[in-house]
Structure 1
């Protein structure tokens, strides 16, 4: 293969944040938008609000993330953003789902213009961008962040798979010449019970769709682990047939009973020792660069979950303010030291309304994360 098609040998280390809750709504991140509604996700939010949805959502797009936010991120040394997108980003047509109700196309149009503007800001302030297909038709994980809560049907219909591939191809075509486009992530967090062979087949189709417009020397193709071991992907998407491929993992310690029952020292050990060894294993065995595409300081399940039952006691429940601050700083430091072993990392998320441990800007303000990166 000609040398010009090879990816750069030493790409920049990514220290980034997710711009979650902006172009894909999540109720726990922006509860004010859902106040008084039965909706649990963007699909049911749009369906329930109907003709009122466009005005409300476009106002949210304007105020939730602004040019000033890109400037602030660059000012503290962040060099990348990961932008979650829904499969409806280009507007209709898209596959129907019964959750849409009587309107076959309930989603608000205009998100693609917001994304265009985000690229202008990214270029102005030197922030690299990973575009992330966060919500696929039929929903790939049953989470609110997948677009339809409690539905996991993405992998059951070819129409859903084909539309996902088509959207990724359109994103590649539209943004391939953008100087700050670092990568396109093929799908966020497909659930653990989506068959591995089917998922790999989708990733291969989607890789080809992206590569039709984005050469490997310019743009990475990123794929998520699908909540399974990296060992499931040994030998997958390797050079020379596949170039500039990046493996994505997400790491949290607040969603399992085992994690919730740990004290702070257990959390620190897991973040620094166990996850540190995992990072070394991935580097040694997978033969692909990796990122931690999502992580946070969150340890409290109650503030982020629409589904989990209590009890909600967690490691910091009985701590005073000083001990809590020290714990968050230590937990953040342990994670950062581990994720620095990867090609990069992206905190989830830049902004939330009510959960400071998930809000990057608030974590920096409170001293839980460093003042510069």
Structure 2
């Protein structure tokens, strides 16, 4: 099938052939350290060349959570309106509805959850980056016949990345849902597999790694051959793997090097020039699944991702302690983007309406701390929760996050 055209090409291209990534320069963080360039396309040129975010401007972005992998906890009203009932994941909903009915329900969702007006509003809020979580099944030929996922999402992805490019956004595409699930009981993978142990999800084996390489190869090819994807500058090869154990040693030893090589080799086969190569992102050592560079023979211009949800960490439920924790950077790999974070607090303490100043401070301290690294991408743009601790757009409406992010205290810590 068309979506698997890279299968033989990828197999032929491994092992890794050296390819290029953008040289370090361009963005400078608040401490003056040089960071790699974030790539954006200047559409006014007949042969588009990359243009760069301004100096001293960190990555400031939002995730498009639940657009292409719906998480029922944060989109319960949407989930119910689609007829998914008590289904725990997209796989379960498609199984419940049947393929044809599910495809129609999901098409309506893809067309309405994130719209062009949302993208324009993000730009008006001085954001410069979006991260888009994807499931491997967006390339439908990769699915097994026994796997039940919605079909038809790829055209909607093309619309979103084009709208984002038109607004000048830097775009990160993320493999959020891996084949057979990198975490068996997390609906963010698109699957919920109660028969499998939390510590033994089935993704961590060569046959499923191979399917992930097909996804990465197809996505890389699409980015470099479809002009709608012109502002995609980074592909993340896996979201939130399980904690470090023998399985994640397999991931670091086998999957990370070959995933990196797959992207580089597809670029090499396409003759991608030096100013158009993608950055390749892996979860940071601080995430807890081990050092992603441990078995890499080449990590030139790789990037790393940490997800820092302070409300889920062992911090005393005291406002002063939360504010202090927000000022403590973490991470063991460089360059680092905090690719998911929020203002969620333990036990739903401190309702936002009565604690606006606290949440203003909590947001600003986290944002400025992460900007001492490469920057941040908030989870998420919108939810059905109407809770500004999760929902960026609701937080702006509540006066917690400023529309002009430069207006934040430069040194809130």
The correspondence of residues 1-373 of structure 1 with structure 2, limited to 5 A, is: 6-10=22-26, 11=37, 12=53, 13-35=58-80, 37-50=85-98, 51-95=100-144, 104-142=146-184, 143-149=186-192, 150=194, 151=196, 153-177=201-225, 178-193=229-244, 195-200=247-252, 201-214=254-267, 217-218=275-276, 219-225=278-284, 228-229=287-288, 232-233=291-292, 237=296, 241-256=298-313, 258-259=314-315, 261-272=316-327, 274=328, 276=329, 278=330, 282=332, 286=333, 288-300=334-346, 313-316=347-350, 321-322=353-354, 324-354=355-385, 355-373=387-405
Aligned to 2:48: none
Q: Are the aligned partners of 2:380 and 2:390 in contact in 1 as well (CA < 8 Å)?
A: yes
User: SS at 1:133's partner residue?
Assistant: strand
Measure, in 1, the Cα distance between the counterparts of 2:182 and 2:352. 40
User: SS at 2:165's partner residue?
Assistant: helix
For residues 41-69 of structure 1, the C-alpha deviation after alignment (integer angstroms, 9 at most, x for no partner) is 11111111214211111101111001111
Deviation at 1:37, TM superposition (A): 1.6
Measure, in 2, the Cα distance between the counterparts of 1:320 and 1:183. 34
Deviation at 1:253, TM superposition (A): 2.1
Q: CA RMSD in A?
A: 2.6
> CA separation of 1:62/1:144 partners in 2, compared to 1, >3 Å: closer, same or farther?
same
Measure, in 1, the Cα distance between the counterparts of 2:73 and 2:374. 29
Q: Which runs of 5+ in 1 are unaligned?
A: 97-103, 301-312
Deviation at 1:8, TM superposition (A): 3.9
> TM-score if structure 1 supplies the norm length?
0.83
User: SS at 1:267's partner residue?
Assistant: helix
> CA separation of 1:368/1:63 partners in 2, compared to 1, >3 Å: closer, same or farther?
same
Measure, in 2, the Cα distance between the counterparts of 1:320 and 1:162. 45
Measure, in 2, the Cα distance between the counterparts of 1:293 and 1:52. 34
Deviation at 1:122, TM superposition (A): 1.5
Measure, in 1, the Cα distance between the counterparts of 2:293 and 2:182. 23
> TM-score if structure 2 supplies the norm length?
0.75
Q: Which runs of 5+ in 2 are unaligned?
A: 1-16, 27-36, 38-52, 406-413
Measure, in 2, the Cα distance between the counterparts of 1:130 and 1:31. 26
Farther off after superposition, 289-298 or 141-150: 141-150
Measure, in 2, the Cα distance between the counterparts of 1:320 and 1:153. 37
Q: Are the aligned partners of 2:287 and 2:307 in contact in 1 as well (CA < 8 Å)?
A: no
**Number of aligned residues:** 338
